């Protein structure tokens, strides 16, 4: 196995093209976002597979953090048939993004190359810390992926309880149906069209940040277990960073904490309604089945 060489560097966010570019078309989107700020903003990246460097980064950057961007990468698996239940695909990298004053910092931890029985203690503390929100897209199952990594390496899963994962799709869903694109104002009224809300990192970055990011298949589907190229490191770092920037953007659009409670209330009410509808449908189906059986019995009696 090739040795991982740690890399620490700083790069202006706007220079990460073609990963990120400002939008130039006139498609309707929720924008009013100052992209010029990113022309003067650097992203500091640490790429490493060393336990002590991961622990030190977490200690320096997460002790007072309450918000973070999070993502992970796994080696893609291609199967001709259904995936076997015995097949376990564990994460290869964990990415964490935080903001210190006006500076963005990202850790790309290549955990696949950690010693077999080792796991950075401060990284485990980060996952177990409910005070630090881990923001990303489609990350609701990431706590299971993290536990899967532990299990595959024979580590004690009792020491790990990943919490605080926030799927930003929930914010996108609310905003898409309650935001007037023409007026760029939060109205609270449900829009008629379009009916499909942005649910991916690419579409959300476009609609809410005015950024056009490229998701190249040759990078997405590359082998994340091998030592990463500079392009892969930048790609992984940007994914976690965009989770953090989108979180900041959504809080701004929802008028900070005031509307965030509304988000939770609406989503919980919607889930409860769907649950009640499912129960009612099940009850009606059962009643119809019983009524049908009774009619069949009565019919047999008359014959």
Q: Where are the domains of the chain?
A: 7-15+40-166+218-254
Q: Return the pLDDT at 297.
A: 66
pLDDT band at residue 264 under the 50/70/90 scheme:
low
- Residue 161 in this model has a pLDDT that exceeds 50: yes
Q: Which residue has the higher pLDDT, 129 or 290?
A: 129
State the chain's mean pLDDT as an integer.
78
- Residue 84 in this model has a pLDDT that exceeds 50: no
pLDDT band at residue 58 under the 50/70/90 scheme:
very high
pTM of structure: 0.76
| Residues 34, 209: Cα–Cα separation, whole Å | 9
Averaged over 84-92, what is the pLDDT?
63
Q: Return the pLDDT at 221.
A: 86
Q: Return the pLDDT at 269.
A: 61
With beta carbons less than 8 A apart as the criterion, state whether 243 and 70 touch.
yes
With beta carbons less than 8 A apart as the criterion, state whether 7 and 47 touch.
yes
Q: Which fold has domain 7-15+40-166+218-254?
A: Nucleotidyltransferase; domain 5 (3.30.420)
| pLDDT tens sequence across 20-29 | 544 555 554 5
| Residues 221, 187: Cα–Cα separation, whole Å | 40
Tokens of 131: 């005070």
pLDDT band at residue 109 under the 50/70/90 scheme:
very high
pLDDT band at residue 67 under the 50/70/90 scheme:
very high
| Residues 216, 48: Cα–Cα separation, whole Å | 23
- Residue 88 in this model has a pLDDT that exceeds 60: no
| pLDDT tens sequence across 283-302 | 777 777 777 766 666 666 66
């Amino acid at each position: 196995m090739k040795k991982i060489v740690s890399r620490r560097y700083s790069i202006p966010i706007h220079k990460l093209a073609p990963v990120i570019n400002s939008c130039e078309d006139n498609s309707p989107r929720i924008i009013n976002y100052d992209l010029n700020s990113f022309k003067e903003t650097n992203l500091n990246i640490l790429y490493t597979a060393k336990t002590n460097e991961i622990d030190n980064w977490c200690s320096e950057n997460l002790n007072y953090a309450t918000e973070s961007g999070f993502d992970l990468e796994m080696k893609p698996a291609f199967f001709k048939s259904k995936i076997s239940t015995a097949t376990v695909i564990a994460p290869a990298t964990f990415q964490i993004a935080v903001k210190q004053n006006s500076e963005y910092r990202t850790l790309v931890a290549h955990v696949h190359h950690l010693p077999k029985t080792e796991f950075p203690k401060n990284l485990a503390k980060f996952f177990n810390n409910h005070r630090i929100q881990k923001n990303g897209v489609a990350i609701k199952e990431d706590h299971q992926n993290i536990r899967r990594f532990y299990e595959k390496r024979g580590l004690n899963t009792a020491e790990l309880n990943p919490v605080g994962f926030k799927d930003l799709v929930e914010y996108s869903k609310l905003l898409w149906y309650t935001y007037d694109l023409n007026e760029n104002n939060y109205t609270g009224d449900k829009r008629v069209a379009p009916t499909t809300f942005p649910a991916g990192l690419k579409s959300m970055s476009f609609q809410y940040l005015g950024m056009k990011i490229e998701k190249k298949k040759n990078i997405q589907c590359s082998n994340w277990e091998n030592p990463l190229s500079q392009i892969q490191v930048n790609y992984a770092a940007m994914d976690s960073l965009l989770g953090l920037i989108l979180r900041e953007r959504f809080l701004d659009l929802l008028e900070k904490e005031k509307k965030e409670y509304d988000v939770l209330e609406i989503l919980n009410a919607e889930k409860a309604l769907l649950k009640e509808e499912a129960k009612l449908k099940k009850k009606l189906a059962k009643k119809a089945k019983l009524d049908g059986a009774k009619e069949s019995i009565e019919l047999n009696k008359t014959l």
